[in-house]
């Protein structure tokens, strides 16, 4: 297989546990479990598109970590830079929403194997050798000081090696419990990166502005961002007009000096909403590695859309299946 690009992702591989069939946790006696984590989800989707992906992380040494490692391998992601330590694997519990009932998430990740990673074990020079893309998100530095230190080292080496840096600067207030000001850290790290996966609200946080969530607002915000953080060259965002837990509409826009827009896709019959942003990010990166910005936006939006119909955290749709969505084939007819 022709592998278009070499991508390095860095972040927690986290166990997902959720009751089946829309049960509340207190009603269940079995939990479905799988693994995810925003950066890994991006990497796994890119591996699925045929790219060469290495995911850098830390797992527990126990049999829970064994299961996570097997999952990483199953995705065709290179596991050579997966560290192990004696702390338990991070996890989240999910009660899925339905109609007007909100889904709920409960995390247990702040004292886990990834939070306790040893930054010294990662040889970023070797890891980033020959890489096209290094991808990070705002989750990682929010987990622990160790994770932040490792991320900073990775970014420094990536800069040195002229690796393109893509990032999703999600700020989560329930992270950042180790004594750093998350907003400030993210500004600093964003300034060292090149392609932002986010929209008006993310930009506003990065540059302390208050642009409205409109087309005009996005243009102004992105323009100002590229001025203030000159390393950043492009912004790709999706806009969600959610109607209920199971029906949504999404559109996409981007700014690379020019404004690009991708029209709404309506999503019904949602199977799983987790990982749809990661599917967008992976789609955009795939587009950038194989074609151009317009294709990247369009492909990213279609990838995001179809992910809503795929269970669990990772987008398993193939590139050609996503291209069918791009081409407006939304009827979902049976293929014999």
Range 25-44, binding its own copies (CB under 8 A): 25-34
d(CA 6, CA 102): 38
Binding pattern for the stretch 267-286 against its own copies, x by CB under 8 A and - elsewhere: xxxxx-x-------------
Binding mask 155-184 for its own copies (x = CB under 8 A): -----------------x-x----------
Give the nearest distance from C-beta 23 to its own copies in angstroms. Answer: 5
The number of C-alpha atoms within 13 Å of 87 and in the hemisphere containing its C-beta is: 17
**Least Å distance between CB 88 and its own copies?**
4
Q: Which is nearer to its own copies, 26 or 230 (CB)?
A: 26
- How many residues bind its own copies (CB under 8 A)? The answer is 84
Least separation in angstroms between CB 138 and its own copies: 13
> At closest approach, how far in Å is the CB of 334 from its own copies?
4
Nearer to its own copies, 34 or 201 (CB): 34
Among 207, 220, 294, 310, binds its own copies (CB under 8 A): 310
What residues contact residue 330 under an 8 Å CB cut-off, 6+ apart?
265, 266
- Sign of dihedral through CA atoms 38, 40, 45, 50? positive
DSSP H or E segment with residue 264: strand 259-267
Q: Are 208 and 225 in contact (CB under 8 A)?
A: no
Q: Is 67 exposed, middle or buried (0-12, 13-18, 19+ CB in 10 A)?
A: middle
CB 40 within 8 A of CB 23: no
What does the angle CA 188 – CA 189 – CA 191 come to, to the nearest 5 degrees? Answer: 70
- The minimum distance between CB 241 and its own copies, in angstroms, equals 10
| Cα torsion angle, 265, 269, 273, 275, sign | negative
Instruction: Restricting to residues 86-145, name those near its own copies by CB under 8 A.
Output: 88-89, 91, 93, 95, 97-108, 110-112
Which residue of 3, 4, 17, 153 would you call a contact of its own copies, by CB under 8 A?
Answer: 17
Shortest distance, CB of residue 147 to its own copies, whole angstroms?
16
Question: How far apart, in whole angstroms, are the C-alpha atoms of residue 273 and residue 310?
Answer: 9
Between 38 and 164, name the residue whose CB sits nearer to its own copies. 38
By CB under 8 A, tell whether 335 contacts its own copies: yes
The nearer residue to its own copies, 17 or 207, going by C-beta atoms, is 17
**In the complex with its own copies, which residue's Cβ is closer, 115 or 225?**
115
Q: Which stretch binds its own copies (CB under 8 A): 126-134, 142-150, 179-187, 315-323?
A: 315-323
Map residue 84 onto helix, strand or coil. Answer: strand
CB of residue 18 to its own copies, shortest distance in Å: 11
Nearest to 136, CA basis, from 87, 61, 193: 193
Is the Cα dihedral 193, 198, 203, 205 positive or negative? Answer: negative
Distance CA 331, CA 197 (A): 29
Which among 128-136, 146-154, 263-271, 291-299 is the span making contact with its own copies, rule CB under 8 A?
A: 263-271
Please report, as residue ranges, which positions from 198 to 257 form the binding site for its own copies (by CB under 8 A). Answer: 242-247
Footprint on residues 67-86 left by its own copies (CB under 8 A): 67, 70-71, 73-76, 79
Please, what is the minimum distance in Å from the beta carbon of residue 2 to its own copies? 13
175 neighbors 145 (Cβ within 8 angstroms) = no
315, 306 contact by CB (below 8 A)? yes
């Amino acid at each position: 297989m022709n592998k278009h690009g070499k991508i390095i992702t860095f972040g927690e591989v986290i166990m997902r546990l959720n009751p089946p069939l829309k049960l509340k946790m207190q009603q269940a006696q079995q939990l479905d479990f799988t693994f995810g984590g925003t950066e890994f989800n991006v990497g796994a989707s890119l591996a699925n598109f045929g790219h060469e992906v290495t995911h850098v992380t830390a797992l527990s040494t126990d049999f829970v970590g064994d299961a996570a490692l097997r999952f990483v391998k199953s995705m065709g992601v290179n596991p050579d830079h997966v560290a192990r330590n004696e702390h338990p694997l991070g996890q989240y519990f999910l009660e899925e929403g339905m109609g007007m009932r909100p889904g709920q998430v409960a995390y247990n990740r702040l004292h886990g194997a990834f939070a306790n990673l040893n930054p010294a074990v990662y040889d970023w020079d070797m890891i980033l050798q020959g890489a096209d893309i290094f991808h990070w998100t705002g989750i990682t530095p929010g987990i622990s000081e160790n994770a932040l230190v490792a991320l900073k080292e990775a970014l420094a080496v990536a800069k040195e090696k002229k690796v393109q840096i893509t990032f999703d600067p999600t700020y989560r207030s329930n992270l950042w419990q180790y004594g750093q000001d998350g907003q400030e850290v993210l500004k600093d790290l964003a300034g060292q990166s090149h392609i932002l996966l986010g929209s008006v609200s993310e930009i506003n946080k990065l540059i302390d502005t208050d642009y409205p969530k409109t087309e005009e607002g996005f243009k102004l915000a992105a323009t100002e961002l590229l001025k203030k953080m000159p390393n950043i060259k492009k912004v790709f965002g999706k806009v969600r007009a959610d109607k209920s837990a199971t029906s949504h509409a999404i559109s996409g826009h981007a700014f690379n000096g020019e404004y690009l827009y991708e029209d709404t896709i309506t999503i019904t019959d949602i199977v799983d909403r987790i990982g749809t942003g990661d599917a967008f990010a992976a789609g955009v990166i795939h587009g950038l590695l194989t074609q151009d910005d317009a294709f990247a936006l369009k492909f990213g939006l279609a990838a995001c859309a179809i992910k809503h119909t795929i269970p669990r955290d990772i987008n398993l749709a193939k590139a050609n299946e996503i291209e069918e969505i791009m081409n407006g084939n939304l009827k979902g007819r049976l293929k014999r």
